């Protein structure tokens, strides 16, 4: 996983989570959306705007392939000079609707392979405001002057990045390296 850097194509943290088995796509989608709302990356009203791309293909056998791209950002409550970006991309292959028995009840679910790619980075005011003006030379000064603040925000964003990973893994019941006591969001799903 690596360190979260200041904004830019090389300066970010990226993680991919793959799962192949029975899962509930609708509940997974809602759970991650709710996590992003709870953590102020998107509001409940604007959550439809976070979806920048959606593609669904159905092959002749009835299996679906889906791509969903979410783009979210938030400003930390203690600073207006930083933005945390969290991109979540879903790629689902061979998804079919199935019925399973759980505790004596038939439940509708999905079977297939889901890959969730998470990309997170911190953007400074020097990048999202100053760079668009003739004062772009101040970016170096800003990054040097606020170096300690930048490190604090990078650590905070990395922690959120790791919490989202752990949440998704817990939802899908995959192994996680964070203790379950650190999970703050209730598990939702079939289990």
Distance in angstroms (rounded) separating the CA atoms of residues 138 and 2:
28
Domain that holds residue 117: 13-170
Q: pLDDT of 65-94, one tens digit each? A: 999 999 999 988 777 778 899 999 999 999
Distance in angstroms (rounded) separating the CA atoms of residues 90 and 26:
12
Helix axis angle for 147-171 and 138-145, nearest 10°, is: 80
Distance in angstroms (rounded) separating the CA atoms of residues 183 and 187:
9
pLDDT surpasses 60 at 8: no
56: in domain: yes
pLDDT value at position 127? Answer: 56
Q: Which residues pair with 64 in a beta bridge?
A: 58, 95
189: in domain: no
Lowest mean pLDDT among 58-72, 78-92, 105-119, 157-171: 78-92
As a whole number, mean pLDDT of residues 55-71 equals 95
6: in domain: no
pLDDT value at position 133? Answer: 56
If one counts the domains in the chain, the total is 1
In degrees rounded to 5, what are phi and psi of residue 77? -65, -25
Tell me the CATH number at 75. Answer: 3.40.198
User: Which has more confidence, 135 or 41?
Assistant: 41
Mean pLDDT of the chain: 80
Q: Which of the four pLDDT bands, split at 50, 70 and 90, describes residue 140?
A: low
111: in domain: yes
Q: Which residues contact 48 (CB under 8 A, 6 or more apart)?
A: none
* Parallel, antiparallel or unpaired: strands 13-23 and 105-124: antiparallel
pLDDT value at position 135? Answer: 57
pLDDT value at position 85? Answer: 92
Gap between the terminal Cα atoms of the chain: 29
pLDDT surpasses 90 at 10: no
110: in domain: yes
117: in domain: yes
Query: Can you give the pTM of this predicted structure?
Result: 0.76
As a whole number, mean pLDDT of residues 105-131 equals 81
143: in domain: yes
Q: Which of the four pLDDT bands, split at 50, 70 and 90, describes residue 187?
A: very low
3: in domain: no
Distance in angstroms (rounded) separating the CA atoms of residues 57 and 116:
18
């Amino acid at each position: 996983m690596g360190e979260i850097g200041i904004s830019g194509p090389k300066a970010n943290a990226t993680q991919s989570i793959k799962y192949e088995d029975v899962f509930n796509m609708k509940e997974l989608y809602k759970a991650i959306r709710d996590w992003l709302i709870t953590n102020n990356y998107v509001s409940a009203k604007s959550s439809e705007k976070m979806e920048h791309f959606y593609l669904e293909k159905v092959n002749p056998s009835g299996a679906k392939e889906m791509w969903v791209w979410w783009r979210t950002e938030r400003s930390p409550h203690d600073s207006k000079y930083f933005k945390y970006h969290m991109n979540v991309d879903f790629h689902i292959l061979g998804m079919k609707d199935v019925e399973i028995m759980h505790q004596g009840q038939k439940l509708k679910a999905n079977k297939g392979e889901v890959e969730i790619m998470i990309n997170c980075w911190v953007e400074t005011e020097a990048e999202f405001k100053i760079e668009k003006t003739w004062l772009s030379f101040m970016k170096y000064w800003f990054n040097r002057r606020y170096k300690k603040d930048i490190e604090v925000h990078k650590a905070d964003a990395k922690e959120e990045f790791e919490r989202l990973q752990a949440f998704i893994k817990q939802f899908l019941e995959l192994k996680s390296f964070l203790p379950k006591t650190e999970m703050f969001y209730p598990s939702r799903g079939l289990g």
